[in-house]
Structure 1
């Protein structure tokens, strides 16, 4: 698929540079990064393995089933990033804000809650269907004069010189096609082809857990409350969603749809995928009546949980980004939001290079980007692992300590704002 003949400029800059970027991987991170580059006046080509669907701006996204979808929790900082490139107005109709976050442990006394009024914020973030987010990102990319889309393309080789980088790919109709640019950014997922071609190793950790992801309906409205619950099997989450045909801008919604992330031991997932009654009964036991009664469950997907960290994120004129750089446990919904902060920082740095008339593929500048992102990345990785291991440790003394810590977090002054800002991605 290539760009449509008529395109609408989707950038905030009047200056278009001849310098260009190849983006390997056109998922949510790759598409978002291309739009961030366009906002800086930088042209890019996206090379994606899968075939993109044919979309029309005049057709609204239709849900295939009321309860059939995967969802993403967008932090407040991610929402701000989409606002910067004038995309949020197109996204927010299917976004459901999070006004409050409740944290507790199954069978224990510990409890904490964050409220937007106490933290003086509009919301802690937004929950959105993956299909809707992907559709709107793809439409925006298709309409941008600075972005070229090449789908159905399998990357076969990567070569770089002192002044450029070349990516070679095959399609169903043509073999050994090549693109050359100043910079290559690999956003091609956890099992990144580009990363493997560069012989960049990874540090992997298997949590021994599988996430069951889907949408459920409860008899109690969510009232824009996100519930984080910890069980012996692992962390769980129930997040608010817009109504099936509702509008995220509508203040009056029934709000009975919820996104669920249920973590079980690997090997146990089949029963939760195939048996709706068992799945809902298990959720009910874990959450009690905090979310009301679970009355219906949609189709679910199972995703083995592993942490995959690239040993380096820059190799000459090549940057490893997104899940190719760091695939994290989904606890607290930090993974995609961390990727978006990476993408935003790099796009800004490349924009500054353009303004100075300097090379956007300068390896020293790219190394500076890698160093600049280390603090935020390490903090999020440590936080995710601490929560996963801390709340699944069976030792009674550890269990008591973490529940006391939850109570302390809920009561001590000045602690909540710090944690809330980190969770919203506002401090990195």
Structure 2
């Protein structure tokens, strides 16, 4: 996307000037998915330059073909919390996103074969919505278009990071640049932020360990059509195999898939024991019938299934998120179970806080890669991160435990949650990411 020699020469020049001045500081970002692109846009909003290295090739897209949704990322969808929506509003991107966002007005929670159930309603909680559901492909293309249009963001795709070296006032990244022939290049900046996913290369290069937990589950993710309109209702259903969700999606206009009728499309997250996923991927009729059995008539009749993907579920937590001038962010820092859709929204709050702290540092004429600043960021995010991690694990393990006494207790708890005053607003506030 840019002339690689010009970029590296400019980086070297900027680095030499940064020894005497902080005005040429820049952030290096490894990983150009949703979190990396969002963080670069947050930095640009504060006037901070960044160079983003992405291992894969970006698609050749332009604003002129916006009406055609190119599913270049994957088949998944993202439930954006109200806080994440506010963050995109803050950087002026929400107007571009909202045409393909479907709001959640009601959240219904229940357990298969049990009496416990609860419901959150936006009118009762006095909010515009609980969040917005959006196809990853649409979110990804809009983030990429915005990053390409920003003069403060440099995008380098086909770049495979191979080494990270830290100095007293800078960090250096070596990467292989694939453009016909492999070509090793180097960039220097004030700080490196790794958003390169669960199996983060940068995290490994920095010798940062992880704590991992295999849930023994695989998520089947895709889109279905029902004979009943979704009415902006999100359904969270717990089964012996794991948590399930059916979320509302927007009309298919511009999607090139006319078989999905207006208001009847739903995003599905179906969790099954690992090893059983093939039957749900290969057989539409079996998948729909199993969904029907699990959800009953709550969503109507499941009549069509779209493309689906399978994703093994493993919790991965980095032992630390800051090492010198390097920050571990996104799934590289914490890969969580998709229950309640908290993972990406937690990453957005991390990115927002760090961008704000770096902006304050720039305004003071101070070093954005200062170790004490980055440690303060790490400490500032601990409460929110630990709360979300504990919540996700408690839900997953609590609702899959087969003990009859525990099953009774959790169903009583669901009823209590639905009836007792003051509990719903607190839970809703946390779920919307409005309290961290």
Q: What TM-score, normalized by structure 2, do the two folds share?
A: 0.92
Q: Count residues with an aligned counterpart.
A: 409
Equivalent residue number for residue 2 of structure 2: 2
Equivalent residue number for residue 10 of structure 1: none
- Aligned partners of 1:116 and 1:23: how far apart in 2? 37
1:118 lines up with 2:118 in the alignment: no
| SS of the residue 2:383 aligns to | helix
Q: CA deviation at 1:57?
A: 1.2
Equivalent residue number for residue 9 of structure 2: none
- The two structures, once aligned, show a CA RMSD in angstroms of 1.4
Q: CA deviation at 1:246?
A: 7.5
Equivalent residue number for residue 99 of structure 1: 105
- Aligned partners of 2:413 and 2:56: how far apart in 1? 46
Equivalent residue number for residue 149 of structure 1: 155
1:187 lines up with 2:195 in the alignment: yes
| Deviation per residue, 1:300-355 (Å, 9 max, x gap) | 10000000000000000000000000000000000000000000000000000000
1:274 lines up with 2:282 in the alignment: yes
Kept in 2, the 8 Å contact 1:17–1:42? The answer is no
1:226 aligned to 218, 234, 250, which one? 234
Equivalent residue number for residue 178 of structure 1: 186
Q: CA deviation at 1:2?
A: 2.3
2:267 aligned to 259, 270, 273, which one? 259
Equivalent residue number for residue 109 of structure 1: 115
Equivalent residue number for residue 320 of structure 1: 328
| SS of the residue 2:373 aligns to | helix
Equivalent residue number for residue 33 of structure 2: 27
- Aligned partners of 1:375 and 1:18: how far apart in 2? 33
| Deviation per residue, 1:137-157 (Å, 9 max, x gap) | 000000000000000011010
- Aligned partners of 1:2 and 1:390: how far apart in 2? 50
Kept in 1, the 8 Å contact 2:226–2:303? The answer is yes
State how 1:126-141 maps to structure 2 within 5 Å. Answer: 126-141=132-147
1:414 aligned to 418, 422, 429, which one? 422
| SS of the residue 2:65 aligns to | coil
Q: CA deviation at 1:174?
A: 4.4
- Structure 1 residues 23, 64: CA separation in 2 closer, same or farther (over 3 Å shift)? closer
- Aligned partners of 2:23 and 2:424: how far apart in 1? 44
Equivalent residue number for residue 158 of structure 1: 164
| Deviation per residue, 1:236-289 (Å, 9 max, x gap) | 000000011189xxxxx9410000000000000001100000000000000000
| SS of the residue 1:299 aligns to | strand
Equivalent residue number for residue 51 of structure 2: 45
- Aligned partners of 1:255 and 1:373: how far apart in 2? 38
- Structure 1 residues 411, 427: CA separation in 2 closer, same or farther (over 3 Å shift)? same
Kept in 1, the 8 Å contact 2:70–2:137? The answer is no
- Aligned partners of 2:254 and 2:125: how far apart in 1? 27
1:391 aligned to 383, 388, 399, which one? 399
| SS of the residue 1:175 aligns to | strand
- Aligned partners of 2:306 and 2:313: how far apart in 1? 21
- Aligned partners of 2:213 and 2:387: how far apart in 1? 17
| SS of the residue 1:305 aligns to | strand
| Deviation per residue, 1:156-201 (Å, 9 max, x gap) | 1000011000000002234220000000000000000000001100
Q: CA deviation at 1:69?
A: 3.4
Q: What TM-score, normalized by structure 1, do the two folds share?
A: 0.94
- Aligned partners of 2:225 and 2:65: how far apart in 1? 27
- Aligned partners of 1:17 and 1:415: how far apart in 2? 48
- Aligned partners of 1:326 and 1:29: how far apart in 2? 12
1:357 lines up with 2:365 in the alignment: yes
Equivalent residue number for residue 218 of structure 2: 210
- Aligned partners of 1:244 and 1:64: how far apart in 2? 13
Q: CA deviation at 1:17?
A: 4.4
Kept in 2, the 8 Å contact 1:188–1:324? The answer is yes
Kept in 1, the 8 Å contact 2:30–2:193? The answer is yes
1:60 aligned to 63, 66, 84, which one? 66
Kept in 1, the 8 Å contact 2:101–2:134? The answer is yes
Structure 2, unaligned runs of 5 or more: 4-21, 256-260
| Deviation per residue, 1:50-95 (Å, 9 max, x gap) | 0001111111142469xx9321000000000000000000000000
